[in-house]
Amino acid sequence: MGGVRIPFPPKGLPLSLRLEGDRLQGEVQARVPVFGEVRLPFAARLEGPLLKPLPLPPPALEVEGRLGEGVLDLSFRLHLGEKWGDRALAHILEALLLRHLEDALSPEAKTLV
């Protein structure tokens, strides 16, 4: 599961977010070699400062994390299938999406491992 710390609300990132009540919805966008433009939606429920993943049909990200004052810590996982090839592809796409977000963040942004 990859993770990243981003400013909240995000500006200038390949990430869209909507917070409505206790539900956070969004989408990560990235240009991925071979696949082209990839847009993966996600949804989570806010329980206090914690984000708990809500299920979406594949392909979608499973997101969890913590919302703080002016910052959002996100961890995400991509589920594409149960076969080993599907899982391997999901890990590759997770790494590429994380790298894309890291590249878009300012130098002082912190990657969570």
CB count within 10 Å of CB 108 equals 7
Of the two residues 110 and 21, the one the predictor is more confident about is 21
For residue 78, give Cα distances in angstroms to 20, 33, 70, 101: 23, 17, 26, 15
pLDDT, average across residues 75-86? 82
pLDDT at 80 over 90: no
Domain of 46 in residue numbering reads as 2-112
Of the two residues 108 and 13, the one the predictor is more confident about is 13
- State the chain's mean pLDDT as an integer: 82
pLDDT 10s digits, 64-76: 999 888 888 888 8
* pLDDT band per the 50, 70, 90 thresholds, residue 113: very low
Number of domains in the chain: 1
CB contact at 8 A, 71 and 8: yes
